[in-house]
Amino acid sequence: MSYCAGTNKATVSVYVSDSIFEKIVSTSPPIDITLVHGQPAQVQGAGLDVANCGQLPNYGIYEYDGFVTFVSINVATPISNPAGFCAGSKPAVNGVTTPGINDVYHSSVQIIRQYSSDWVLSVIDANGKTITRKYPTEPRYEISCNDDCPEGSHKCTHKKYPGYCCVPCKEVGDRLKNMANKVGR
């Protein structure tokens, strides 16, 4: 979803544990925001050709939901191969070597990105610039356009920088209701 179309500035206030953790400012709105929990590990490599102990042409990217390491393996080869085995590697996810008859044996492989259980917030502006941040817990965010207050709040002016503050309407309304109930008793 796009935010702040037709404005000059978009501000994303990111909250962790109900306090502002950081503000991400874009001067090229509109902006799009994505929030994703966890990123799979990405491994790039080529399969092992057991027939000749070479590399298969299936060089590609594989994803695993867990922390990836590689285990050195020896794979039995056809009788035509005098060595009797090919050396390669096999992924282990969270310490467990991947099982099965459709195993992925690699002749060459590298980890592009390791698994992360963090929350990843990405802000993409109209120019395609992406700002990405990771958080250990799920963040909450609010968007304001042209220094206006986010939806559900009221802008109050004062003498301190930046010359205004945003007061959350629901929170203030709840406090007023609570005071009125106490006075009415």
The per-residue pLDDT for range 127-136, each reduced to its tens digit, is 999 999 989 9
Kind of pairing between the strands at 19-26 and 10-16: antiparallel
Confidence band for 185, pLDDT divided at 50, 70 and 90: low
Span of 83-92, 103-112, 146-155 with lowest mean pLDDT: 146-155
Using CA atoms, how far apart are residues 161 and 52, in angstroms rounded to an integer?
71
Residue with tokens 């404005």: 7
Highest mean pLDDT: which range of 98-102, 105-109, 142-146, 180-184? 142-146
179 burial (CB, 10 Å; 0-12 / 13-18 / 19+) is exposed
- On the question of pLDDT at 35 being above 80, the answer is yes
Tell me what pLDDT residue 181 has. Answer: 82
Confidence band for 21, pLDDT divided at 50, 70 and 90: confident
Tell me what pLDDT residue 104 has. Answer: 66
From the list 108, 109, 111, the residue with the least C-alpha distance to 53 is 108
- Mean pLDDT along residues 140-157: 78
Residue 110 sits at φ, ψ, to 5 deg, of -145, 150
The larger pLDDT score, comparing residue 10 to residue 56, is at 10
Using CA atoms, how far apart are residues 160 and 93, in angstroms rounded to an integer?
53
Residue 152 sits at φ, ψ, to 5 deg, of 90, 10
- Mean pLDDT along residues 103-112: 78
Q: State the SS3 of the chain.
A: CEECCCCCCEEEEEEECCEEEEEEEECCCCEEEEEEEEECEEEEEEEEECCCCEECCCCEEEEECCCEEEEEEEEECCCCCCCCEEEEEEEEECCEECCCCCCCCEEEEEEEECCEEEEEEEEECCCCCEEEEEECCCCEEEEEECCCCCCCEEEEECCCCCCEEEEEHHHHHHHHHHHHHHHCC
Tell me what pLDDT residue 33 has. Answer: 95
Between the two ends of the chain, the Cα-to-Cα distance in Å is: 47
Mean pLDDT, the chain, rounded, equals 83
The per-residue pLDDT for range 37-89, each reduced to its tens digit, is 988 899 888 888 777 777 888 778 888 888 989 888 887 777 666 667 888 88
